[in-house]
Amino acid sequence: MKQAILVAVLLLLASTLASANNLVVPNAQATTTGNVTIGLTTSSPSFEYQEDYGSGQFFSVGSPLLITQIAFRAAPGTGAIDVDTTSFNIYLSTSPYFPNTINGHTLITSDYAANKGADNTKVLSGSGTFFSSPGCSTPGPCAFDMVFNLTTPFLFDPTKGTLLLDAQFTGWNDIGKAGSLDGEAFSSPLGGSVAQVGSDDTVQLRGPIVEFGFTPVPEPSTLSLLGISLVGILGFTSRLRAHCRPAK
């Protein structure tokens, strides 16, 4: 409830916040093609998928961030991508698990429910076209042209844990296209910045490269001042409307 209230306040103050920014995870692949391709054919049309992003990937922001958009890109030279679904639901949460075992971290598990944080939030749902991209030729990288604008932005503080994306699908159909997502894989859990629980319910030290659209969250003191200003503006507007109301 507290997070929902804070997100609502941030959205009301959006015009006074810093402009939206983009962050690629893993950071090292911002302008470099990944080392693996992520195929989009599954053995079952209904499945759950999770990807965990290391908290250190977000430290460059320097503050909590309000995530408003998620985007994926095609692996260069693999062809066009076209995926339809009967339904999809995307959730974000702050997970207690990690995509690596650095400093004694506990790697995410194959237990989908256990990986989710207490703040698990549905950020987008829908049906029909899910992924669609013409792809690009090598050497790439391709553009992040498969974009999801979240209907419910998610407030993420990387000092509290890792960011977990949980997606649930029914009626997944890749329509026979050969294209794949651009991804990054790691040979050891000691060096990973992303990990996934795939449609086969196993933990894999890899995942699609993602671009997050976000707005940095102001410091508490700044947010308080903005909130006071907003209250003052709303109060003045209310009084002005009452003053200008026609007499009966």
CA 39, 134, 208, 29 dihedral sign is positive
Mind listing the pLDDT tens digit for each residue in 75-130? 999 999 999 999 999 999 999 999 999 999 999 999 999 999 999 999 999 999 99
pLDDT for position 20:
73
Asked if 23 and 214 count as a contact pair (C-beta separation under 8 A), the reply is yes
Query: What is the spatial distance between Cα 157 and Cα 58, in angstroms, rounded to a whole number?
Result: 9
Look at the pTM and tell me if it is higher than 0.85.
no
- Give the confidence band of 245 by pLDDT, cuts at 50, 70, 90: low
- Give the confidence band of 237 by pLDDT, cuts at 50, 70, 90: very low
